[in-house]
Amino acid sequence: MKRIAVAAFLGLAACAHPAVQDDPPARPLVLWKGYSDHPPGYLGEHPDPAIVAFLPPPPAEGSLRARDDAAIYRATRKLEGTPRWKQAADDSEIFAPDFAFKAFACALGAEIAPEQAPTLTLMLGRVPADIDGVTERVKKTTMRKRPVVVDPRPICLPAADWLLSSTSYPSGHAATGWALGLILSELAPDRAGPILTRAAGIGDSRVICGVHYQSDVEIGRQVGAAVVAVLRARPDFEADLDAARAELAAARRTAPKPSCPTE
Protein backbone atom coordinates (compact mmCIF):
# COMPACT_ATOMS: atom_id res chain seq x y z
CA MET A 1 0.00 0.00 0.00
CA LYS A 2 2.81 2.37 0.87
CA ARG A 3 4.41 1.70 -2.51
CA ILE A 4 1.07 2.37 -4.30
CA ALA A 5 0.56 5.60 -2.38
CA VAL A 6 4.01 6.87 -3.35
CA ALA A 7 3.34 6.03 -6.97
CA ALA A 8 0.02 7.82 -6.86
CA PHE A 9 1.66 10.87 -5.31
CA LEU A 10 4.35 10.95 -7.98
CA GLY A 11 1.70 10.66 -10.67
CA LEU A 12 -0.21 13.61 -9.24
CA ALA A 13 3.00 15.58 -8.96
CA ALA A 14 3.72 14.92 -12.60
CA CYS A 15 0.27 16.23 -13.52
CA ALA A 16 0.71 19.31 -11.35
CA HIS A 17 4.11 20.06 -12.83
CA PRO A 18 4.11 19.11 -16.51
CA ALA A 19 7.36 18.72 -18.33
CA VAL A 20 8.98 21.96 -19.45
CA GLN A 21 8.09 22.67 -23.07
CA ASP A 22 10.75 23.33 -25.64
CA ASP A 23 11.27 26.94 -26.67
CA PRO A 24 9.29 27.92 -29.78
CA PRO A 25 11.29 27.74 -32.98
CA ALA A 26 13.19 30.89 -33.88
CA ARG A 27 11.61 33.14 -36.49
CA PRO A 28 13.18 32.55 -39.91
CA LEU A 29 15.20 35.43 -41.28
CA VAL A 30 13.40 37.42 -43.98
CA LEU A 31 15.51 39.69 -46.15
CA TRP A 32 14.64 41.96 -49.06
CA LYS A 33 16.56 44.07 -51.56
CA GLY A 34 15.20 47.55 -50.99
CA TYR A 35 12.21 49.77 -51.62
CA SER A 36 10.74 47.70 -54.45
CA ASP A 37 10.27 44.54 -52.39
CA HIS A 38 10.37 45.67 -48.76
CA PRO A 39 7.92 43.92 -46.41
CA PRO A 40 4.41 45.33 -45.89
CA GLY A 41 3.72 47.40 -42.81
CA TYR A 42 1.56 46.69 -39.79
CA LEU A 43 -1.11 49.23 -40.76
CA GLY A 44 -1.97 47.86 -44.21
CA GLU A 45 -1.68 49.53 -47.59
CA HIS A 46 -3.89 52.48 -46.64
CA PRO A 47 -3.15 53.71 -43.11
CA ASP A 48 -5.81 55.87 -41.47
CA PRO A 49 -5.17 59.49 -42.56
CA ALA A 50 -6.32 60.64 -39.13
CA ILE A 51 -2.88 59.58 -37.85
CA VAL A 52 -1.45 62.80 -39.24
CA ALA A 53 -4.52 65.04 -39.21
CA PHE A 54 -2.70 67.32 -36.77
CA LEU A 55 0.00 68.32 -39.28
CA PRO A 56 0.13 71.97 -40.37
CA PRO A 57 0.57 72.89 -44.03
CA PRO A 58 4.10 73.56 -45.28
CA PRO A 59 5.47 77.09 -44.90
CA ALA A 60 3.83 79.53 -47.29
CA GLU A 61 5.95 80.68 -50.19
CA GLY A 62 7.72 83.89 -49.28
CA SER A 63 7.14 83.44 -45.53
CA LEU A 64 9.96 83.92 -43.03
CA ARG A 65 10.14 80.16 -42.45
CA ALA A 66 10.28 79.44 -46.18
CA ARG A 67 13.12 81.93 -46.55
CA ASP A 68 14.97 80.31 -43.65
CA ASP A 69 14.51 76.91 -45.29
CA ALA A 70 16.01 78.21 -48.53
CA ALA A 71 18.94 79.80 -46.72
CA ILE A 72 19.76 76.55 -44.90
CA TYR A 73 19.61 74.67 -48.20
CA ARG A 74 22.08 77.07 -49.79
CA ALA A 75 24.42 77.03 -46.80
CA THR A 76 24.58 73.24 -46.60
CA ARG A 77 25.77 72.96 -50.22
CA LYS A 78 29.19 73.88 -48.79
CA LEU A 79 29.36 70.40 -47.25
CA GLU A 80 29.74 68.75 -50.66
CA GLY A 81 32.67 66.32 -50.62
CA THR A 82 32.93 66.15 -46.82
CA PRO A 83 32.47 63.00 -44.69
CA ARG A 84 29.11 64.38 -43.53
CA TRP A 85 28.02 64.61 -47.18
CA LYS A 86 28.89 60.96 -47.69
CA GLN A 87 26.99 59.99 -44.55
CA ALA A 88 23.97 61.85 -45.88
CA ALA A 89 24.14 59.72 -49.02
CA ASP A 90 24.49 56.54 -46.97
CA ASP A 91 21.49 57.53 -44.85
CA SER A 92 19.30 57.52 -47.95
CA GLU A 93 19.39 53.69 -48.06
CA ILE A 94 16.75 53.49 -45.36
CA PHE A 95 14.86 50.57 -46.93
CA ALA A 96 17.85 48.19 -46.93
CA PRO A 97 17.32 45.27 -44.51
CA ASP A 98 20.51 46.01 -42.61
CA PHE A 99 20.17 49.80 -42.64
CA ALA A 100 19.24 50.24 -38.99
CA PHE A 101 22.00 47.93 -37.75
CA LYS A 102 24.62 49.85 -39.73
CA ALA A 103 23.23 53.30 -39.02
CA PHE A 104 22.83 52.72 -35.28
CA ALA A 105 25.89 50.51 -34.68
CA CYS A 106 27.84 53.17 -32.81
CA ALA A 107 24.73 54.32 -30.96
CA LEU A 108 24.03 50.74 -29.82
CA GLY A 109 27.70 49.98 -29.20
CA ALA A 110 27.41 46.75 -31.19
CA GLU A 111 27.74 45.56 -34.78
CA ILE A 112 24.63 43.42 -35.07
CA ALA A 113 23.81 41.31 -38.11
CA PRO A 114 20.24 40.61 -39.26
CA GLU A 115 20.85 36.90 -38.64
CA GLN A 116 21.20 37.61 -34.92
CA ALA A 117 17.83 39.35 -34.67
CA PRO A 118 15.35 38.12 -37.30
CA THR A 119 12.26 39.50 -35.55
CA LEU A 120 13.87 42.89 -35.05
CA THR A 121 15.09 42.92 -38.66
CA LEU A 122 11.61 42.31 -40.01
CA MET A 123 10.01 44.77 -37.61
CA LEU A 124 12.42 47.52 -38.60
CA GLY A 125 11.58 46.70 -42.22
CA ARG A 126 7.83 46.86 -41.72
CA VAL A 127 7.74 50.19 -39.92
CA PRO A 128 9.20 52.14 -42.91
CA ALA A 129 6.33 50.81 -45.00
CA ASP A 130 3.85 52.27 -42.52
CA ILE A 131 5.71 55.59 -42.57
CA ASP A 132 5.70 55.56 -46.36
CA GLY A 133 1.96 54.89 -46.48
CA VAL A 134 1.27 57.86 -44.23
CA THR A 135 3.71 60.36 -45.72
CA GLU A 136 2.76 59.66 -49.33
CA ARG A 137 -0.85 60.64 -48.61
CA VAL A 138 0.28 63.91 -47.08
CA LYS A 139 2.71 64.62 -49.91
CA LYS A 140 -0.12 64.34 -52.45
CA THR A 141 -2.02 67.11 -50.69
CA THR A 142 0.88 69.49 -50.04
CA MET A 143 2.81 69.14 -53.32
CA ARG A 144 5.79 71.14 -52.05
CA LYS A 145 8.65 71.10 -54.54
CA ARG A 146 12.00 69.84 -53.34
CA PRO A 147 14.71 72.46 -52.81
CA VAL A 148 16.86 71.10 -55.62
CA VAL A 149 13.93 71.59 -58.01
CA VAL A 150 13.33 75.18 -56.92
CA ASP A 151 17.02 76.09 -56.85
CA PRO A 152 19.19 73.52 -58.70
CA ARG A 153 22.45 72.99 -56.85
CA PRO A 154 24.57 69.92 -56.00
CA ILE A 155 22.87 67.18 -54.00
CA CYS A 156 24.35 64.03 -52.46
CA LEU A 157 22.28 61.66 -54.63
CA PRO A 158 21.79 61.21 -58.36
CA ALA A 159 19.02 63.56 -59.53
CA ALA A 160 16.73 60.74 -60.64
CA ASP A 161 13.37 61.52 -62.23
CA TRP A 162 11.44 59.91 -59.38
CA LEU A 163 13.27 62.10 -56.87
CA LEU A 164 12.72 65.35 -58.75
CA SER A 165 9.05 64.60 -59.40
CA SER A 166 8.20 63.56 -55.82
CA THR A 167 7.23 66.15 -53.25
CA SER A 168 9.15 67.41 -50.27
CA TYR A 169 6.77 67.80 -47.31
CA PRO A 170 7.02 65.93 -45.01
CA SER A 171 10.30 64.02 -45.13
CA GLY A 172 9.63 60.28 -45.10
CA HIS A 173 13.27 59.50 -44.33
CA ALA A 174 13.24 61.82 -41.33
CA ALA A 175 10.01 60.20 -40.14
CA THR A 176 11.45 56.72 -40.56
CA GLY A 177 14.74 57.55 -38.91
CA TRP A 178 12.96 59.02 -35.89
CA ALA A 179 10.54 56.06 -35.66
CA LEU A 180 13.43 53.57 -35.75
CA GLY A 181 15.20 55.60 -33.09
CA LEU A 182 12.17 55.56 -30.80
CA ILE A 183 11.83 51.80 -31.17
CA LEU A 184 15.52 51.04 -30.62
CA SER A 185 15.73 53.40 -27.65
CA GLU A 186 12.93 51.47 -25.98
CA LEU A 187 14.66 48.17 -26.67
CA ALA A 188 18.01 49.49 -25.42
CA PRO A 189 17.13 52.28 -22.97
CA ASP A 190 20.67 52.44 -21.63
CA ARG A 191 21.68 53.78 -25.05
CA ALA A 192 18.67 56.04 -25.60
CA GLY A 193 20.71 59.24 -25.81
CA PRO A 194 23.08 58.13 -28.58
CA ILE A 195 20.26 56.33 -30.41
CA LEU A 196 17.99 59.37 -30.55
CA THR A 197 20.92 61.60 -31.49
CA ARG A 198 21.64 59.33 -34.43
CA ALA A 199 17.95 59.17 -35.33
CA ALA A 200 17.84 62.97 -35.51
CA GLY A 201 20.97 62.86 -37.68
CA ILE A 202 19.18 60.72 -40.26
CA GLY A 203 16.70 63.54 -40.72
CA ASP A 204 19.47 66.13 -40.82
CA SER A 205 21.04 64.11 -43.63
CA ARG A 206 18.09 64.95 -45.86
CA VAL A 207 18.80 68.66 -45.45
CA ILE A 208 22.53 68.18 -45.98
CA CYS A 209 21.83 66.07 -49.03
CA GLY A 210 19.70 68.85 -50.47
CA VAL A 211 16.52 66.87 -51.06
CA HIS A 212 14.42 68.30 -48.21
CA TYR A 213 13.98 71.56 -46.39
CA GLN A 214 14.56 71.83 -42.66
CA SER A 215 10.84 72.23 -41.98
CA ASP A 216 10.13 69.03 -43.96
CA VAL A 217 12.44 67.18 -41.61
CA GLU A 218 11.01 68.64 -38.42
CA ILE A 219 7.47 67.68 -39.41
CA GLY A 220 8.74 64.29 -40.53
CA ARG A 221 9.90 63.54 -37.01
CA GLN A 222 6.41 64.31 -35.73
CA VAL A 223 5.01 61.86 -38.27
CA GLY A 224 7.43 59.18 -37.08
CA ALA A 225 6.40 59.68 -33.46
CA ALA A 226 2.70 59.57 -34.38
CA VAL A 227 3.06 56.30 -36.30
CA VAL A 228 4.97 54.65 -33.44
CA ALA A 229 2.24 55.76 -31.02
CA VAL A 230 -0.40 54.11 -33.20
CA LEU A 231 1.68 50.94 -33.57
CA ARG A 232 1.98 50.63 -29.80
CA ALA A 233 -1.76 49.92 -29.65
CA ARG A 234 -1.42 46.87 -31.93
CA PRO A 235 -0.96 43.44 -30.30
CA ASP A 236 1.06 42.12 -33.26
CA PHE A 237 3.51 44.99 -33.01
CA GLU A 238 3.78 44.63 -29.23
CA ALA A 239 4.46 40.90 -29.60
CA ASP A 240 7.23 41.60 -32.08
CA LEU A 241 8.61 44.30 -29.79
CA ASP A 242 8.88 41.81 -26.91
CA ALA A 243 10.61 39.24 -29.10
CA ALA A 244 12.92 41.90 -30.54
CA ARG A 245 13.88 43.05 -27.05
CA ALA A 246 15.17 39.57 -26.19
CA GLU A 247 16.95 39.24 -29.54
CA LEU A 248 18.69 42.58 -29.19
CA ALA A 249 19.78 41.92 -25.62
CA ALA A 250 21.32 38.58 -26.63
CA ALA A 251 22.96 40.05 -29.74
CA ARG A 252 24.50 42.94 -27.81
CA ARG A 253 26.21 40.49 -25.45
CA THR A 254 28.07 38.76 -28.28
CA ALA A 255 28.30 41.24 -31.17
CA PRO A 256 31.66 42.91 -31.83
CA LYS A 257 32.14 46.52 -30.83
CA PRO A 258 32.14 48.97 -33.74
CA SER A 259 35.00 51.32 -34.46
CA CYS A 260 33.45 54.69 -33.73
CA PRO A 261 34.58 58.29 -33.24
CA THR A 262 35.27 59.15 -29.64
CA GLU A 263 32.12 60.42 -27.98
Residues whose CB is less than 8 angstroms from the CB of residue 120 and which lie 6 or more positions away in sequence, other chains included: 187, 243, 244, 247, 248
* Catalytic site includes residue 38: no
What distance in Å separates the CA atoms of residue 254 and residue 257, rounded to the nearest whole number?
9
Contact 247, 116 (CB under 8 A): yes
Contact 97, 32 (CB under 8 A): yes
> Which residue of the set 173, 191, 198, 221 is catalytic?
173
- The 3 state secondary structure assigned to 167-204 is CCCCCHHHHHHHHHHHHHHHHCHHHHHHHHHHHHHHHH
Cα→Cα distances 152→26, 146, 166, 179, Å: 50, 10, 15, 30
> Which residue of the set 38, 126, 191, 212 is catalytic?
212
What distance in Å separates the CA atoms of residue 26 and residue 251, rounded to the nearest whole number?
14
How many CB atoms within 10 Å of residue 57? 11
* Catalytic site includes residue 221: no
* Catalytic site includes residue 253: no
Closest CA to 221 of 206, 203, 209: 203
> Which residue of the set 69, 91, 132, 216 is catalytic?
216
* Catalytic site includes residue 198: no
> Which residue of the set 126, 206, 221, 252 is catalytic?
206
Q: Which residues are catalytic?
A: 173, 206, 212, 216
